[in-house]
Structure 1
Amino acid sequence: MFATIKRYDIIERNIKSDQKKVMRLKNAVDKIALYCWRAAKLCLMLGLIELPQFALSLPKLLLKYVNGPIVYILTWMIFIGGYVAVTFILFTYLQRRHPERKIIWRPKGKEINTIIIGFIVLMAAKIIIGSFMTQQTANDAAIEKLFKISVNTSFMMVFMTAIAAPVVEELVFRGFLMDYFFTDQPIFAILLSGLIFGSIHASTNFISWLMYVVMGIILAATYNKEKNLAANISLHFLNNLLPSIVFLLSSLHQLLK
């Protein structure tokens, strides 16, 4: 009798052990499926923020059928409208998911200090890494080439690089990515954000790729500290503003002479 009871105890323990293994496996599968779904969403958002850039090629296309200022008016309407629509979609999604997060911003001294420090660190990182580069990054070369297409395109590029890009990129790479992946492991979230940010910017060599990765990590660390997208957008804006002005002045000098 005691042997029978002991045997049933062993069977019961084995069943419980098997149930735990099944639950662990199920949880692992669910977690993988969840991360795959989130990765698919991230890819969708990355595609979404690229869409308005197609407006840059519209003048050349439209001038085949229409002449006059209407071409540039339509181009600007589509260009700005595209970025407004993308920003609205991303903003609405993030605001519903995290209503407590600050996107519309009233600056405070502490946050302004973080932006200033972040900007200094960004500039220092770009100078240090840039000292190892022998040529312009592929991303900067592509941007400079677009600046030199026409005066109209030059101003569109200023809007895109200095205003639109900081907004949509921070909404995706910090607002979405860092709140979806490794939420309880901020170091991994910061590294992932930096790696993906660096990888979507055109790079022809390791040094130029590293520069954008480090920039992404600094921006991600800023967001992890403040949890304030508006502060991040401001920092990103400052980082992009000076190169945009330099490219604009250089292109206007060549186009108007």
Structure 2
Amino acid sequence: MNNIQIWKDDNPISQSKYRHVLWQSIVLIIVGLCTYTTIGIARHWGILILGLLLFSLFIYLMTKFKFELFKPERIHKQTWVYIFTAAVLSLLVYWSIALIFGQPHNQIDVYDDLRSLPLYVSFIIFVILAPFFEELIFRGFIMKGIFKGHVLIGYVVSSVLFGLMHGPTSLSECLIYIGLGFVFGGVYLLTRRIEASMICHALNNCAHILIFVFIFNH
């Protein structure tokens, strides 16, 4: 796939006019963030039920707005190659910087959560929920929604916002998370599959959990 094809918005997430896609994307970002946050911090059934209700609203709105982000066909072999290559690249980006400057504060907070939460709960939050919502918000609603028709600008802006969302406190932390944003966004653009960036993101998070379990938790 050449550069022109990569930056061509030939698979828009919606056929609606831009002004509609813009406000619909903003609404979905707000609802998505509320859903992810609510489920992620749920410590009793009341909060969890609220999160599930918000999730139902989130899915309903995506269907109502006719956002075409997921594809029903199976993921092809070449796409899997891109996914695993990008997952390895994401770990290289992280550790090549973290081994020199230390692990980001955000990752230390994640380790604290892993110590206090059951492993299966951590897996649900960090390997399923985080990739699902973060990829939809940053690669879907921002890169392809708010910046519909301007994928290159959306790619850069969404990657930077993704990095800032992780609360970096230094230049090295900025480089780590913005770099990961570029990797996840890149695999989406190369494959034209939001599922690919979600899986790549999930593999990256899963690797960090395994590293914690077998190395840092001893």
TM range (shorter): 0.7 to 0.9
Q: Which residue of 1 aligns with 2:7?
A: none
Among candidates 162, 176, 181, match of residue 216 of structure 1: 181
CA separation in 1, counterparts of 2:68 and 2:27? Answer: 25
* Secondary structure of 1:148's aligned partner: helix
Larger mean Cα displacement after TM superposition, 181-190 or 242-251: 242-251
Among candidates 113, 116, 130, match of residue 149 of structure 1: 116
Q: Which residue of 2 aligns with 1:9?
A: none
The alpha carbon displacement at 1:214 in A equals 0.9
Q: Deviations over 1:213-241 (max 9, x none)?
A: 11011111222222211111111111111
Residues 90 and 171 of structure 1 are in contact (CA less than 8 Å); yes or no, is this contact kept in structure 2?
Answer: no
Q: Quick one: percent identity of the two aligned structures?
A: 19
CA separation in 1, counterparts of 2:129 and 2:73? Answer: 17
Among candidates 33, 41, 46, match of residue 54 of structure 1: 41
The alpha carbon displacement at 1:47 in A equals 3.2
Q: Which residue of 2 aligns with 1:232?
A: 197
In structure 1, the gaps of 5 or more residues are: 1-30, 59-73
Q: Deviations over 1:183-222 (max 9, x none)?
A: 2222211111111111111322121122111101111122
Residues 31 and 58 of structure 2 are in contact (CA less than 8 Å); yes or no, is this contact kept in structure 1?
Answer: no
Among candidates 96, 104, 113, match of residue 137 of structure 1: 104
* Secondary structure of 1:132's aligned partner: helix
Q: Which residue of 1 aligns with 2:89?
A: 121
What amino acid maps onto 1:145 in structure 2? D
The alpha carbon displacement at 1:148 in A equals 1.6
What amino acid maps onto 2:108 in structure 1? A
The alpha carbon displacement at 1:124 in A equals 2.3
Residues 119 and 235 of structure 1 are in contact (CA less than 8 Å); yes or no, is this contact kept in structure 2?
Answer: yes
Structure whose CA Rg is larger: 1
Q: Which residue of 2 aligns with 1:205?
A: 170
The Cα RMSD (Å) is: 3.2
Count of aligned pairs between the two proteins: 201
